[in-house]
Amino acid sequence: MGLLIGVPKETATAEKRVATVPDVVEKLVKLGFSVAVESGAGDAANFADDTFRAAGAEIVPTAAELWAKSDIVFKARVPSPEEVGLMREGGTLISFIWPAQNPELMQQLAAKKATVLAIDCLPRQLSRAQKMDALTSMAGISGYRAVIEAANAFGRFFNGQITAAGKIQPAKVFIAGAGVAGLAAIGTAANLGAIVRANDTRAEVADQVVSLGGEFVKVDYEEEGSGGGGYAKVMSEGFLAAQREMYAKQARESDIIITTALIPGKPAPRLITAEMVQSMKPGSVIVDMAGEQGGNCELTVPGEAVVRHGVTIIGYTDLVSRLAKQASTLYSTNLLRVTEELCKTKDGLINVNFEDDAIRGLTVVKDGAVTWPAPPIKMAAAPAAKPAAAAAPAAKSHGHGGGGEPMSAKSLATVFGAGALAFMLVGLFAPASFLSHFTVFVLACFIGYMVVWNVTPSLHTPLMSVTNAISSIIAIGALVQVAPPLDAAGAADRPNALILGLAVFALALTAVNMFGGFAVTRRMLAMFRK
């Protein structure tokens, strides 16, 4: 008999999510587990008790009964002290924990001799951990919802319009922080037609901002801000001073500011001061997504929307919960992937294997012993770069294949001189009929060489496909065999059946080559167009 997974109703204020959904319940049952859900746990996310029953879950009337009987508990929010008190001794909990911010909770869980997997401690640098990464899935939802909340409070169109009643300028949106939530906000705001600008301490995200339709605003100070694990690090005072100056300028110009900056284990950095808020145009909006950790704006009130100096400052801490059904579905899928890693035997039993880097990183308490923080993961060493001297000949030979540096004037003159001499010798001694064919051949080689030389290497494949199609002019030979020209008496010299059959077959293949070449070229060139 497999272990029992319990899903209690979330007790945090305004929390509407549920830690598993009926579709995932069915998959957990197939892994060999039993599932129990507290009555009403999914109501706020539009998952009724009957849908859980139909999926194979047991409905338990009270939280106390559920916590007492569950071997494993799935939760969306950090458990309260009261909930931990209900937990059975030696049980397993999979939830958001934030161990750096909740040392008392960690000690309480350890006293229960529990095994705790903190979904927020997943080593995100592991590529196979992406399927379990609830931080990313929840951040994407919150970034989208932040733009929707901003649009609701803004009271104007995001996109520009020209109407009979006058011209409407597009909204200017500035997004501080281009992590997962920031990128989701950039894409949403750009799709709504706003002019979007964004900044991040990590220079590598600039291309991602541009790809989503935004403009990356760089701080006039050179310092790398990547802190590992998808987060930023604490920057130097010099960088912060330059950053404040840039933010002050953006505050004066922007209609909407969305802040997403967080550093693990630390209060949210203050990016928007009261003076910056005062400099914004009346009717502007700030959405502070870091409200739960204190806020990026000096005037943010966590959990509330307030108006200061004519600017609406939204500090909601339940942005993800405002899309409860979608968020519950994604979060429960992340927990399912964690459970699959714990139960590879599909027998309803789990193995918290510390040899697995992902499971080791997730586990913050094991059998009552605090195991957080996990030791650093030893990543595979990057392959050594090839010496520059060895790479140089390859680059040089690549240039002669097309798209390289053109030859010098002296080399070009030498090639043309040799060609002219060879052409003169052929003209003196070769028959006149050969000379005409040779002239066409030389000109064709010259034109082809110059065309290929001046085409960038990335376009060589479409170039070859179209020249391959053009070369299908040999179809004329097959046409001559199928319909030979008439002689002076008006009669045609018909080929025998074998030659006619071969000519028709050759004509069919040539047609495929011709039209296929043009089709491939058209499709490949479309890849280079925006």
Tell me: pLDDT of 499 over 50.
yes
Tokens of 404: 């390289």
| Confidence at residue 393, expressed as pLDDT on a 0 to 100 scale | 46
Query: Over 229-283, what HEC string results?
Result: CCEECCCCHHHHHHHHHHHHHHHHHCCEEEECCCCCCCCCCCCECHHHHHHCCCC
Average pLDDT taken over every residue of the chain: 87
Alpha-carbon distance 81 to 451, whole Å? 75
Name which residue leads in pLDDT, 436 or 138. 138
Residue 522: per-residue pLDDT: 78
| Band of residue 403 on the pLDDT scale cut at 50, 70, 90 | very low
Under 8 Å between Cβ of 196 and 213: yes
- At 227 the pLDDT is 55
The conformation of residue 239, written as its DSSP 8-state character, comes to H
Whether the per-residue pLDDT at 26 is higher than 50: the answer is yes
Find out whether 273 and 308 touch, Cβ atoms under 8 Å.
no
pLDDT reported for residue 397: 43
Which has more pLDDT, 220 or 248?
Answer: 248
Give tens-digit pLDDT for 356-387: 999 999 999 999 999 999 999 876 655 555 55
pLDDT above 70 (res 186): yes
- Give me the torsion for CA of 299, 305, 306, 307, rounded to 10°: 100
Per-residue pLDDT reduced to its tens digit, 76-103:
999 999 999 999 999 999 999 999 989 9
Show the CA angle centred on residue 238, arms to residues 235 and 243, nearest 5°: 70
**pLDDT given at position 487:** 63
Q: Residue 392: pLDDT band by 50, 70, 90 thresholds? A: very low
Q: Which residues, 6 or more positions from 464, have their beta carbon under 8 angstroms from its beta carbon?
A: none
Q: Quote the radius of gyration of the chain (alpha carbons, Å).
A: 34
Q: Coil, strand or helix: which one is 139?
A: helix
Q: pLDDT at residue 402 above 50?
A: no
Sign of CA dihedral 364, 369, 373, 375: negative
Residue 143 contacts residue 185 (beta carbons within 8 Å): yes
CA-to-CA distance for 157 and 163, rounded, in angstroms?
A: 13
| Largest distance between two CA atoms of the chain | 111
Question: pLDDT of 263-315, one tens digit each?
Answer: 877 889 999 999 999 999 999 999 999 998 889 999 999 999 999 999 999 99
Q: Over 60: is that where the pLDDT of 172 sits? A: yes
What DSSP state is assigned to residue 212? Answer: T
- Average pLDDT for 161-187: 94
Specify which residues 507 forms β-bridges with.
none
Which three-class secondary structure state does DSSP give residue 253? helix
| Out of 186-190, 317-321, 322-326, 477-481, least confident range | 477-481
Residue 19 tokens, joined? 């830690």
pLDDT in tens, 7-25: 999 999 999 999 999 999 9
pLDDT band at 231 (very low <50, low <70, confident <90, very high): low
- Give the global pTM: 0.71
> Hey, CA dihedral for 351, 353, 356, 358, is it positive or negative?
positive
Cα dihedral 149/152/156/158 (nearest 10): 40
* Predicted pLDDT at 396: 43
Query: What number of residues does the chain have?
Result: 530
Q: Residue 5 in contact with residue 316, Cβ under 8 Å?
A: no
139 pLDDT higher than 80: yes
Mean pLDDT of 482-497: 67
406: pLDDT confidence band, cut at 50, 70 and 90?
low
pLDDT band with cut points at 50, 70 and 90 for residue 210: very high
Q: What is the mean pLDDT of residues 99-120?
A: 96
